Amino acid sequence: MAAIPHIRNFSIIAHIDHGKSTLADRLIEACHGLEAREMTAQVLDSMDIEKERGITIKAQTVRLNYTARDGQQYILNLMDTPGHVDFSYEVSRSLAACEGSILLVDASQGVEAQTLANAYLAIEAGHEIVPVLNKIDLPASDPDKAKAQIEEVIGLDASNAVLISAKTGENIPEVLEALVARLPAPQGDATASLAALLVDSWYDPYLGVVVLVRIKDGIAKKGLKIRMMAAGSSHVIETVGVFTPKLKNTDQLGPGEIGFFTAGIKEVAETHVGDTITDDRRPVAVPLPGFKPSIPVVFCGLFPIDAADFPRLRESLARLRLNDSSFHFEAETSAALGFGFRCGFLGLLHLEIIQERLSREFDLELIATAPSVVYRLFMTNGEMKELHNPADMPEENYIEHMEEPWIRATIMVPDQYLGSVLKLCEDRRGEQTNLSHTGARAVVEYALPLNEVVFDFYDRLKSISSGYASFDYELTGYKENDLVKMNILINAEPVDALSTIVYRKTAESRGRALCERLKELIPRQMFIIAIQAAIGGRIVARETISAMRKDVLAKCYGGDVSRKRKLLDKQKKGKKKMRQFGKVDIPQEAFIAALKMGDS
Amino acid sequence: MQTHSANSSQVVSPTASAARELAIYVHWPFCLAKCPYCDFNSHVRERIEQDRWRAAYAREIKRGAEGVPGGVVTSIFFGGGTPSLMEGATVATVLDGIAASFTIAPDIEITLEANPTSVEAARFRDYRAAGVNRLSLGMQALDDAALKFLGREHSADQARAALATGRAVFPRVSFDLIYARPGQDVAAWRRELAEALAFGTEHLSLYQLTIEEGTRFHERASQGALTVPDDDLQADLYEVTGELCNAAGLQAYEVSNYARAGSECRHNLTYWRSGEWIGLGPGAHGRLQDGHARIATRAIRSPEQWLAAVEGFGSGAEPDERVDPEAALRERALMGLRLSEGIAAAEFVRTTGRTIDEAFGNALPALVEDGFLVWDGSAVRATPRGRLVLNRVLAALLD
């Protein structure tokens, strides 16, 4: 193994909105990766949703040619990582492909929960870290305070942090110099067997599946038959290349390099992030460490509002999956909602993104049922079953006990909101594991059931802290709890899509809150509507929506006929956004909104 | 124009005679002021050249008659706008024109809408002389504060005086009131309606205040400056209305119209029964039958453009439209279910070529079972409860 002295591989760790994409743009500009006319704001976020939400969903990479002040030519590989907790495994693989990181902190905001979580991942990955303080052009920026936080909270030396403004371009060359000077060069052996880390993959309509890799040892080039060790499949490389950020074919990829290959792979599902790619004829004995199959943790049902859209929904889900193998779907039938799909996601943001893409790119109107975590049912016959859908829960007497997934949540919050945050966590069955202060801010760690977090925890946290609290979590494992299924009955008919699994001790208050919320969400109709929450055969809460008593046009004469008829047509269209249960129309948003309950 | 036996006019079923019965609506598009609740095609103009308008109506009548050969006119209705701003000679020219171009039913009903100001009441005798035999008086309220709120130009006393004049002049008189006004409670409406019923007219139109888009009230309501009673109070007010009218011998034969048996407004029944009518004047709509198809006619909406088109091209019409059969069905339901008599099955088959069950079979049984509609084989009609939520019933029926 030898150092490859002219390469530096790095990623940027930052909290959302701290300027990661803008910094990436500046670095590309400074190295002339793109002509000025080709620069669009935030080059690396290629999906509309990424640009709008300011988040990165897919890993992207760009190879920059930099002539340093020492006169030497360097290749700088920037790995742009997904910034959200839902994709933390993907983040860890991106980090494993690099030797160092820029820790980017908004000098007007300071360290946030996501910064912290990702910084720990980088430290775990053995990275050399270059602290960079951004937005120093803002009057509110306080670099000294931000430095102190980095040292106190993360425990990194911030004395040599680079102070920049990605917006104005100030001190961007200093960042490039720091990368060359401070990050270690990658190591590898070009003569050894091929060992490459699969960082990400995506479907390209012209090229098929494009696989993003970091070469550890050996050479990848056209014609080489490779083997994916975890997937157990073999392919012949057709093209190799790099992104500058434009796709550019090269002859080969060697140790320390980050680039892509194509090999006639049809589906992204055949590639697994974290897999090791090796020479099929001369495989390495041991795969690279850290591979984990991606497992969905949050499930929900997606149903077309118009039942005729079911085939189109299936097709659209399949198309999305071409590019995102981390989400799962299978056909589901609901007595209330008809045909649809049970879909699994890496987290709530992932769920929202998929839902948004379905409506935006495929023009599908959907009902999403309440998100649910995966429960483990230990049956009286000794079997263990995973429960993805509350509607499928067996009778209680067949269940010996149940377990639910727990997380470790890290919350950073200004002291003045700490009380409300602690109360929120306690209300959600949280167990405090750590509480420390840095300056006027608290860092709180809680063990929480994931179930209590999936619905609206983040919204609540934002609202009780006026938006100042930041939040991150990781799954820690399963714990036994006293859980029951709660059914919602509308006019005595159970609506399976509104069933949830709840903690027995809070079931009644939860049932009451849910009935109250549904009462607000369901418009008055021609009938009295009874909304009930039931556990087993026992009704624990009830609300009544009184019947609409008067809804008729006062005047309708000869001149009004066409106009009033068109009014009726319009009213009919509005009704399409509702689903009928027996005679009751329930608006689509009721299925998720019902569960977003304010904490009393 | 001479009218006969206007006093004894009976409601005749359109199926009773084989002749093609027609109603004629005459729209006079001018008002002295625009009321804040009104979204009708009405305009305020400094000066109106009534002789030009007379001539234009006369030309349109001739053209209209060509489209319906053999039609027998059973009713004429002057609406607006404010038709009581028409000179007596203008009304006479229109009626004479109709008599010259159409066959007139012996018991024809000729209604004119009037505002109860003293100026307008002074013209009542001219209208009667021209042939008008029914007056519809826009009293709107019997309370000065309410009249001011509604933007009316008359006082409650003027309204009472105009009603007395009208009853002395015309064989049949009806008047309108607007209720469910902001702040009006059941007790206040009981008092006002009791006084209205004590006048003893054989017909009343009682409308709940509706905030229509494009009106000043709508603007105020969307700013939160005006709040109408909620649907519970509206329902209570409506029920009290039915109860008091019933006690006074007036039946709710339509959602907002109450009459002694035989004193229903025959002209308006033609609309609700989806009969045939011709619309004359700016923005007037018509409906004609062509086999099982329904033809919608419409005149140019702007008064000046309509006048110019009639004078310049001999027609103020917009292109006719063949109403889509499904849309025609919806029109029939939305009009017919407003009537207590409902939609007559035989008439429905004759004009649509479909049976009630074929047209509404999907949703009808459930609505019947739930007590919103009655379907007895001869007619489908809304129950009192169903009529009060007719918009919902229609949405369910026509789903």
Predicted local confidence at residue A296, as pLDDT: 83
Q: Which two tokens stand for residue B388?
A: 């009060």
- Write out pLDDT tens, residues A227-268: 999 889 999 999 999 988 788 899 999 999 999 999 999 888
Contact assignment for B271 to A552 by CB distance below 8 Å: no
Same structural domain for residues B255 and B146? yes
Predicted local confidence at residue A599, as pLDDT: 43
Q: Which of A336, A382, A364, A368 is nearest to A489 (CA)?
A: A336
Predicted local confidence at residue B1, as pLDDT: 60
Same structural domain for residues B213 and B356? no
B120: in domain:
yes
Q: Is the dihedral of CA A150, A154, A159, A161 positive or negative?
A: negative
Residues of A in contact with B372 (CB under 8 A): 526
Contact, B381 vs A514, CB < 8 A? no
B333: in domain:
yes
Order across the sheet with B251-254: list the strands. Answer: B251-254, B257-259, B203-208, B172-179, B134-140, B103-114, B71-80, B20-28, B276-280, B285-290, B293-298, B321-323
What residues make up the domain containing B343? Answer: 324-399
Same structural domain for residues B69 and B202? yes
pTM above threshold 0.90: no
- B363 contacts chain A (CB < 8 A): no
Contact, A81 vs A92, CB < 8 A? no
Predicted local confidence at residue B11, as pLDDT: 42
The span from the CA of A429 to the CA of A427, in Å, is: 5
Query: Where does residue A294 rank: exposed (0-12), middle (13-18), buried (19+ CB within 10 A)?
Result: middle
The stretches of A428-535 forming alpha helices (DSSP H) are 451-454, 457-464, 507-521
Residues of B in contact with A553 (CB under 8 A): 210, 255, 390-391
Among B229, B248, B271, which residue terminates a domain? Answer: B271
The span from the CA of A252 to the CA of A218, in Å, is: 10
- Write out pLDDT tens, residues B171-191: 999 999 999 999 999 999 999
Residues of A in contact with B234 (CB under 8 A): 549-550
Same structural domain for residues B87 and B159? yes
Same structural domain for residues B165 and B78? yes
Q: Which of A560, A512, A557, A552 is nearest to A534 (CA)?
A: A512
Residues of A in contact with B399 (CB under 8 A): 572, 575
B290: in domain:
no
The alpha-carbon gap from A527 to the nearest alpha carbon of chain B, in Å, equals 9
B79: in domain:
yes
Contact assignment for B395 to A527 by CB distance below 8 Å: no
Q: Give how many domains chain B has, as a whole number.
A: 2
- A vs B: CB pairs below 8 A: 105
Contact assignment for B271 to A571 by CB distance below 8 Å: no
Predicted local confidence at residue B12, as pLDDT: 41
- Among B213, B274, B391, B398, pick the best mutation site for testing chain A contact (most A Cβ within 10 A): B391
Residues of A in contact with B285 (CB under 8 A): 558-559, 561-562
The span from the CA of A178 to the CA of A52, in Å, is: 31
Mean pLDDT is lowest, of A495-499, B89-93, B96-100, for: A495-499
pLDDT for residue B18 is more than 70: no
What 3-state class would DSSP assign to A392?
helix
B313-321 long-range Cβ contacts below 8 angstroms, 24+ apart: B314/B59, B314/B63, B315/B60, B315/B63, B316/B56, B316/B60, B316/B281, B316/B282, B317/B63, B320/B295, B320/B296, B321/B295, B321/B296, B321/B297
Residues of A in contact with B366 (CB under 8 A): 583
Q: Which two tokens stand for residue B186?
A: 């059941």
Same structural domain for residues B127 and B49? yes
Nearest CA in chain A to B323: A562
Average confidence score pLDDT of chain B: 93
Same structural domain for residues B68 and B189? yes
- Among A526, A552, A563, A576, pick the best mutation site for testing chain B contact (most B Cβ within 10 A): A552
Task: Look up the CATH number of the domain holding residue B356.
Answer: 1.10.10.920
- Among B28, B335, B337, pick the best mutation site for testing chain A contact (most A Cβ within 10 A): B335
- Write out pLDDT tens, residues B354-367: 999 999 988 999 99
Q: Which of B15, B3, B21, B110 is nearest to B70 (CA)?
A: B21
Preceding peptide of A131 cis, ω within 30°: no
Residues of B in contact with A578 (CB under 8 A): none
Give Cα separations from A565 to A550, A553, B331, B344, B392 (angstroms).
19, 11, 6, 20, 13
Radius of gyration of chain A (CA): 27
Render A112-167 in DSSP notation, one character per residue: -HHHHHHHHHHHHTT-EEEEEEE-TTSTT--HHHHHHHIIIII----TTPEE-BTT
Contact assignment for A564 to B396 by CB distance below 8 Å: no
Q: How far is CA B52 from the centre of its chain?
A: 26
Q: Which residues contact A354 (CB under 8 A, 6 or more apart)?
A: A320, A324, A327, A343, A345
pLDDT in tens, chain A (600 residues): 567 899 999 999 887 778 888 898 889 888 876 655 555 555 555 555 554 544 444 557 889 999 999 999 999 999 877 656 677 777 888 889 999 999 999 999 888 877 777 888 888 889 999 999 999 999 999 999 999 989 988 889 999 999 999 989 999 999 999 999 999 999 999 999 999 999 988 888 888 899 999 999 999 999 999 999 988 999 999 999 998 878 889 999 999 999 999 999 988 888 888 899 999 999 999 999 877 777 788 888 999 988 899 999 999 998 888 777 778 899 988 877 889 999 998 887 788 888 888 888 888 888 888 888 999 999 999 999 999 889 889 988 899 999 999 999 988 888 999 999 999 999 999 999 999 987 778 889 999 999 888 877 887 888 888 777 878 788 899 999 999 999 999 999 888 888 889 899 889 988 998 899 899 989 899 889 999 999 988 999 999 999 999 999 999 998 889 888 888 877 777 666 677 777 788 887 787 666 665 543
Predicted local confidence at residue B307, as pLDDT: 97
What 3-state class would DSSP assign to A89?
helix
Give the largest Cα separation in chain A, rounded: 92
- Among A306, A524, A561, pick the best mutation site for testing chain B contact (most B Cβ within 10 A): A561
The span from the CA of A22 to the CA of A10, in Å, is: 16
Contact assignment for A559 to B208 by CB distance below 8 Å: no
Contact assignment for A561 to B271 by CB distance below 8 Å: yes
CA atoms within 13 A on the CB side of B184: 24
| CB-CB neighbours of A70 under 10 Å | 9
Higher pLDDT, B5 or B358: B358
Contact assignment for A568 to B370 by CB distance below 8 Å: no
- Chain A interface residues (partner B, CB cutoff 8 A): 524-527, 548-559, 561-562, 564-565, 568-569, 571-572, 575, 583
- B232 contacts chain A (CB < 8 A): yes
Contact, B37 vs B210, CB < 8 A? yes
- B331 contacts chain A (CB < 8 A): yes
Predicted local confidence at residue B17, as pLDDT: 47
The span from the CA of B298 to the CA of B283, in Å, is: 6
Predicted local confidence at residue A39, as pLDDT: 57
Same structural domain for residues B260 and B345? no
Among B204, B236, B271, which residue terminates a domain? Answer: B271
Higher pLDDT, B99 or B8: B99
Residues of B in contact with A565 (CB under 8 A): 327, 330-331, 334
The span from the CA of A434 to the CA of A187, in Å, is: 39
Residues of A in contact with B390 (CB under 8 A): 551-553
The span from the CA of B307 to the CA of B295, in Å, is: 23
Same structural domain for residues B54 and B167? yes
Among B271, B295, B314, which residue terminates a domain? Answer: B271
Q: Which two tokens stand for residue B16?
A: 């009773």
Contact assignment for A527 to B370 by CB distance below 8 Å: yes
B190: in domain:
yes
- Write out pLDDT tens, residues B287-329: 999 999 999 999 999 999 999 999 999 999 999 999 999 999 9
Radius of gyration of chain B (CA): 21
Predicted local confidence at residue A58, as pLDDT: 55
Contact assignment for B334 to A551 by CB distance below 8 Å: no
Residue count of chain A, please give it: 600
Residues of A in contact with B231 (CB under 8 A): 524, 548-551
Average pLDDT of the residues in B339-344: 97
- B243 contacts chain A (CB < 8 A): no
Nearest CB among A549, A553, A583 relative to B391 is that of A553
Q: Which two tokens stand for residue A237?
A: 């490389």
Residues of A in contact with B334 (CB under 8 A): 556, 561, 564-565, 568
The alpha-carbon gap from A554 to the nearest alpha carbon of chain B, in Å, equals 6
Predicted local confidence at residue A597, as pLDDT: 57
What 3-state class would DSSP assign to A240?
strand
Predicted local confidence at residue A44, as pLDDT: 54
Predicted local confidence at residue B9, as pLDDT: 39
Residues of B in contact with A568 (CB under 8 A): 330, 334, 391, 394-395, 398
The alpha-carbon gap from B276 to the nearest alpha carbon of chain A, in Å, equals 10
Residues of B in contact with A582 (CB under 8 A): none
Contact assignment for B255 to A552 by CB distance below 8 Å: yes
State residue A138 phi and psi, 5-degree precision.
-75, 140
Same structural domain for residues B253 and B352? no
Classify the phi-psi angles of B316: left when phi > 0, otherwise alpha if psi is within -120 to 50, otherwise beta.
alpha
Same structural domain for residues B254 and B381? no
Q: Please give the single-letter amino acid code of residue A359.
A: S
B1: in domain:
no
B3: in domain:
no
Same structural domain for residues B88 and B214? yes
B318: in domain:
no
